[in-house]
Amino acid sequence: MNKHGHLADFLQTRRGQLRPEDVGLRTYGERRRVPGLRREELAMLAGISAPYYTRLEQGQSHNASREVLDAIANALRLDESERAHLHALARVPRRGGLSGRPRTERVTPATGALLAALGSTPAIVIGRRSDVLAWNREGHGLFAGHLDRDGPNVPGRRPNMARLVFLDAHTRDLYADWPAKARAVVGNLRLTAGRYPDDPLLAELIGELTMRSPEFAAVWADHRVLACDVADYEMRHPLVGTLTVTQQTLQSPQGNGPALVVATADPGSPSATALTLLSQAIAPRETTPEATRPRLGAETRTI
């Protein structure tokens, strides 16, 4: 499906999730064949003509202005992440240029230095498709200690956090509120798919998860988007027990490079003690410069 197909699906789904009473419209007890707002009602709320909105929702109009999109976002009661997603879906792709050429995604020296500077703070570097490009010892131990630590370095064996959340029993058990983590993963993938609608490997990942996980398929069909910037998660770790961490995603201002995900706990809290115990439990018996150096992943091709 192309970008404008995603736009049509997004608008239809979000319109169907709004009831007339949610936006102050009276229905006078009439029975409706389908739930949600009608196209003409949404167009009236946005202050645009019903025929124009219909063409936009059907993917027949590709030149909506920023003002029109903002009006539709207001009518749909979208939050900032959803509003940005709407604008990304409606943006007319540039013809020619360098946007479609393959480029190399790698852990930059600056990101590698930051990963090293974090010391014993659990951290991982993920690509735009949720592939793990690198992790420090604590990041590996917290998020995926059951996997080979050298996985990010081996072509074809690089862990993928979205696959782990939906298809890996260990990761599912790791999160006390797994549905919340699952929604966050899908919401972030939705944002990424809006930015990169022609990425075949991203489409392949989404197709795989849709086929293999009924839970993923159900959440994906909801068209919710979510920027995973900061979130608290209760984790049930097999080595140190239950702890609550704050996962923060740090990315370049352009939002087009690998992201650094860092897990922290409140200083002095039992969770902070658990992270310290985890670091001690997985520490090598003999610390050498090579052993303390962060493992950087191999290069990968993106579109």
Domains and CATH numbers, the chain: 3-90 (1.10.260.40), 103-302 (3.30.450.180)
Quick one: pLDDT at residue 177?
Answer: 96
Q: What is the pTM of this model?
A: 0.75
Q: How far, in Å, are 34, 57, 77, 189, 199 from residue 182 at the CA level?
A: 28, 28, 23, 11, 22
Quick one: pLDDT at residue 289?
Answer: 53
Q: Tokens 């200690």 — which residue?
A: 145
Quick one: pLDDT at residue 210?
Answer: 94
10-residue averages of pLDDT along the chain (303 residues): 67 83 70 77 87 83 81 86 82 51 68 88 93 94 94 84 96 96 92 84 92 94 81 96 95 73 95 96 69 50 46
The residue among 241, 299, 294 whose CA lies nearest residue 119 is 294
Cα–Cα distance between 201 and 13 in angstroms, integer? 25
Quick one: pLDDT at residue 101?
Answer: 45
Q: Kindly tell me the sign of the dihedral angle through the C-alpha atoms of 80, 190, 256, 141.
A: positive
Residue 163 has, within 13 A of its CA and on its CB side, a CA count of 15
